[in-house]
Chains A and B, each alone.
Chain A
Amino acid sequence: MARITVRGVSEIRGPIIIIEGVTGIRMGEYLEVKLPNKPSRKGRVLAIEEERVIILLYQGTYEIEKDEIETEFFGRTMQLFVAEDMIGRVFNSQGEPLDGLPSIYSDEYRDINGSPINPTSRVYPRNYIETGISSIDSMNTLVRGQKLPIFTGAGLPNNQLIGQIVKQARIAGAEGTDKFAIVFGAMGLTMDDYIYFQRLFEETGTLNKVVMFTNLASDSAAERLITPRVALTTAEYLAFDKGYHVLAILSDITNYCQALREISVALETVPSRKGYPGYMYSDLASIYERAGIIEGSQGSITLIANLTMPNDDITHPIPDLTGYITEGQIILDRSLHNRGIYPPIDVLGSLSRLMKDGIGEGYTRKDHPSLSNQLYASYAEGLDKRRLAEVIGKKELNRRDQILYEFADKFEDNFVNQGDDYRSIEDSLDLGWSLLSNLPETELTKVSEDLILKHIHNKGADSD
């Protein structure tokens, strides 16, 4: 494609520049703005109105002089060179190395926007991932190829939880493949958090398996819009072309959405809720939907995203729209955290939509589906009784209610609260049964008599 070079701009506004009197420019085209005596900046064509081309500059417009600059249009959309050598490297959002090593040279390159996966080409995710965390493995099971955000609040230990998952999870699974990689997209992370993750990868010995794309809090907001896209383009290449099981970690979606709002306001888009643009749902979907498994490829992309709920508000547009796209969510709860429970996972509010087909006989254990149903139900009732006791006092509860009340306490203290320990799925399920054995059998309406005999009375013929 022909490159076109233009001198000067007619308008500069926020991160946007407008160039007039130029023809032959393509929608979405990638471009470079050359400044005298300064590093050049990259940008993208957002809209074209006859001879007016509207451009977003990823590194902003500060110190751009109207008539001095030269814009070179590349005649193509932004593409990323991809290679297996990227594993173990650190890049900025443009795919330029930040680790002092040379740039990636490869024959293969990809459009960073990707294309939607044909639903008939998807493989439905069914292989569960053992994270070693009871409240995830037994109650909100993670499945390879799933997209699952962590809804967290400021000051909650979400990064610690991700650290534990990275440390303990067996993504590559039982078939003995060592083709495992982590793609990490840092979106507006503070330096502290960034260093935490770097150290995490060092300590867990995964540093040589990580591809990092870095956009820190101090970096440009416009550039933040491409961070998840370059990260997932790399993940797609590794998973679908090279057969890696990829764990993609994006942190933090909230920073990304705020950048999206900032740019949409600069473009004078009609805002919908809280000033966020009406297309935020579609935009987020174009990120999350890139996770999954496709036919004819050995690999998978499992996506875990940090999402800090502004003011712990789950109805805020960012968690709200995310929840409609992702396959569930892990919610961290402030009151559990304040009581010293780690991980402070709100078991009832959390959800894994792919759990239903990833558990049970042939996957985890036969008793898993009904056991988790019973634990949900009894814990939910126990919480009702706790609320009741807050009003009338625990002593006023009848015997049944007291037992349930105590069950909820035990469930939180022993099951949810596990610290940094690793628990196998077997141990988690057995722990669940031992908690249930505190309840009268008439309460166990979600589990069959056979299962009660086997797991509470240790009787029964089949032992699996």
Chain B
Amino acid sequence: MPHSAEERARIVTIKGSTVEVRGLLSYRMGEITYVGEEKLMGEVIEIERDFATVQVYEPLEGLKINDPVYLTGKSLSAELGPGLLSNIFDGIQRPLEQIKKISSSPFIQRGIHINALDRYKKWQFEPNKDLTKGHLVKGGDVLGSVQETETIRCNIIVPPNTTGELLSIQEEGEFKITDPIAELKGSDKKKEELTLMHEWPVRIARPFLKKLPVHEPLVTGQRIIDMFFPIAKGGTAAIPGGFGTGKTILQHQLSKWSDADVVIYIGCGERGNEMTDVLREFPKLVDPHTQNPLMDRTLLIANVSNMPVAAREASIYMGITMAEFYRDQGFNVLLTADSTSRWAEALREIAGQLEEMPVEEGYPAYLGARLANFYERAGQVITLGSPYREGSINITAAVSPPGGDFSEPVTANTKRFVKTFWGLDPNLANRKHFPSINWLNSYSGYIKVIEEWALESGLEDWGRYRQEMFTILQKDDELQHIAELIGSKALPADEQLIILVAEIIKEGFLQQNAFDKIDSFCPIEKQMKMMKLMLLFYNRAEVLIKNGCPISLIISLKTVKILKRMKEDVPNDNIIRMNKIEDYIHTDMEELGSKYGYKV
């Protein structure tokens, strides 16, 4: 609250997005500070004797030397409680819809102070029946719950680091977010009131009981990811790619179709229209897993590229803290950050203003450490408190390497901390092969885990299909190099067949049209069946070729086109129709076989 703070310092220097202040009392690193008459929000990032440097989250125009500075003694914190979902916030958790309302301007002007969570809205609270007066409760214990959106029932938990004897807990009823719902007596005998919300400093990871090894996939409905480079729930992935390679669309696809419970989308230094696109589209889309509007499980953070750079730096921490809040309730959370390069650039810009010694390409020496801290906040955990809950955070982060060069510092450092790497390829993007994930330089560190999961889930063929398809694609790559020198006509028939099948896989399987009603999301069963049919085609054609069938006859089979188009032609709720395609393949092959006097 800016109003309760007491003025304790004055501005002495104004430069870029930072001010230097001088005061009499001591400062704390990370302390939230309000500067100037408009009380612009900032954070202490450097202290030297009685000077402190404050990075300010709003433009500094109009400030002057000797303007007052108010220290709050608080760190940059997120408000956590019901009402976050379906909302859009800026980098310091101000709700943008509310900003629009109170400022009655389409532009974001300076000095707007507004709470993240609505103070007037009432929530129907249902207490945890197991709790009674006198119960000893600790951080993470579930006090009760409220229906936050149609999809998500928000657990109201005791804030971490809080313990005490329960003095009272409210009956079922309607409460505002700041109304007390329970009262504790802490170890120091002091009474403490708990509400539906609490605050948490965003730069500190929220505690959990134990990290677990990841064990199941995040199903995304994107074929190249689910089948080739899967990500586990609790896992991390980087999506590096130059502009126009489809990072943002891939992130949108992941946010739309993943089987996560909660999705947090951080637009970090990105385009305003893209955020508007999400705001416009998501409420209309239906979550294929719950049939509710996608917006019900989604939370957006928009720091568009022309918003202040310091707020961009904060946006990533805001996002991950909110993700941890939902994880602690026992949800699987997907956090997509687009793009971490803009965040790294914000670090660089602020470091430059502090005249810190730059290392690679002007980035500060702690770039790697900051990235590591961020990615390490992902994972599958047992949460604090009772009842027993498991939750997870996935991070998929876009990286925007300058000139598409993956050896630059942000991409190189990111690679050190993520287990899955979906490298986007400008050559594929140029020919509108989307998603443009390059299957030769991408990797997933979760193959083993997913393979075990597949065996238990009745997808025992997953590993085999994947390997067989991969082998075809790899051989194809080698053959393409040769064909570039001598022409594919000169290759033996069995090798030409590999090129043909690889083309079917690339066009009919790896490419996925995000804008096609059917193809945008592909259920796992369909993905498996598609692989099966393509491999069936290959295996049967291979036998024919061995028996002297000319490759040209196979190339001109109508099934080739059917295989390439089944992703868009077979509706997702009618996968049974693919059995017909299987019949076509058999019929076609048998026909050719009989022509060549060979029974297949």
Query: CB within 8 Å of B: which residues of A?
Result: 23-28, 47-51, 77, 111, 113-125, 145, 240, 269-273, 278-279, 281-282, 285-286, 288-290, 292, 294-297, 314-317, 320-321, 323-325, 327-329, 348-349, 351, 354, 356-357, 369, 373, 376-377, 380-381, 387-388, 391-392, 396-398, 400-401, 441-442, 445, 448
| Residue of A119, A271, A272, A295 with most chain B CB atoms under a 10 A cut-off | A119
Q: Name 14 A/B residue pairs within 8 A (Cβ), A-sorted.
A: A49-B13, A113-B59, A116-B306, A118-B96, A273-B402, A278-B349, A281-B342, A282-B309, A324-B339, A327-B271, A348-B431, A387-B484, A398-B488, A442-B556
- In the complex, the 9 A-B pairs of residues with the closest C-beta atoms, listed nearest first: A315-B403, A380-B431, A285-B305, A28-B61, A323-B243, A121-B106, A115-B107, A119-B275, A272-B362
When the two chains form their complex, are residues B65 and A116 in contact, meaning their CB atoms are under 8 A apart? no
Query: CB within 8 Å of A: which residues of B?
Result: 12-16, 59-66, 88, 96-97, 99-100, 105-110, 242-244, 269, 271-273, 275-277, 279-280, 302, 304-307, 309, 339, 342, 345, 348-349, 351-352, 355, 358, 361-362, 400, 402-405, 430-432, 483-490, 507-508, 513, 515, 555-556, 558, 560-561, 564-565, 568-569
Given A113-B59, A119-B96, A289-B305, 14 other A-B residues pairs in contact with their CB atoms under 8 A:
A28-B59, A117-B107, A120-B276, A272-B362, A279-B16, A282-B345, A285-B305, A292-B273, A315-B403, A324-B243, A356-B515, A369-B515, A396-B489, A448-B568
When distances are taken between beta carbons in the complex, the residues of chain B under 8 Å from A270 are 351-352, 355, 358, 362
**How many Å lie between the Cα of A316 and that of B243 in the bound state?**
13
**How many Å lie between the Cα of A65 and that of B349 in the bound state?**
34
When the two chains form their complex, are residues B100 and A118 in contact, meaning their CB atoms are under 8 A apart? yes
When distances are taken between beta carbons in the complex, the residues of chain A under 8 Å from B362 are 270-272, 278
**How many Å lie between the Cα of A325 and that of B271 in the bound state?**
6
When the two chains form their complex, are residues B489 and A397 in contact, meaning their CB atoms are under 8 A apart? yes
**How many Å lie between the Cα of A316 and that of B269 in the bound state?**
20
Minimum CB distance partner of B483 in chain A: A388
When the two chains form their complex, are residues B349 and A114 in contact, meaning their CB atoms are under 8 A apart? no
- Given contacts A27-B60, A270-B358, A398-B488, are A329 and B244 in contact (CB under 8 A)? yes
**How many Å lie between the Cα of A52 and that of B383 in the bound state?**
54
Minimum CB distance partner of B20 in chain A: A49
When the two chains form their complex, are residues A285 and B273 in contact, meaning their CB atoms are under 8 A apart? no
**How many Å lie between the Cα of A288 and that of B351 in the bound state?**
25
Minimum CB distance partner of A123 in chain B: B276
When the two chains form their complex, are residues A281 and B65 in contact, meaning their CB atoms are under 8 A apart? no
Minimum CB distance partner of A381 in chain B: B431
**How many Å lie between the Cα of A288 and that of B537 in the bound state?**
50
Minimum CB distance partner of A387 in chain B: B484
Q: How far is the CB of B92 from chain A (nearest CB, A)?
A: 14
Q: How far is the CB of B37 from chain A (nearest CB, A)?
A: 11
When distances are taken between beta carbons in the complex, the residues of chain A under 8 Å from B345 are 278, 281-282
Minimum CB distance partner of B103 in chain A: A118
When distances are taken between beta carbons in the complex, the residues of chain B under 8 Å from A442 are 556, 558, 560-561
When distances are taken between beta carbons in the complex, the residues of chain B under 8 Å from A392 are 485-487
| Residue of B405, B485, B487, B513 with most chain A CB atoms under a 10 A cut-off | B487
**How many Å lie between the Cα of A285 and that of B305 in the bound state?**
6
When the two chains form their complex, are residues A50 and B13 in contact, meaning their CB atoms are under 8 A apart? yes
Minimum CB distance partner of A290 in chain B: B306
When the two chains form their complex, are residues A294 and B62 in contact, meaning their CB atoms are under 8 A apart? no
When distances are taken between beta carbons in the complex, the residues of chain B under 8 Å from A314 are 403
When distances are taken between beta carbons in the complex, the residues of chain B under 8 Å from A357 are 277
- Given contacts A49-B13, A114-B107, are A289 and B431 in contact (CB under 8 A)? no
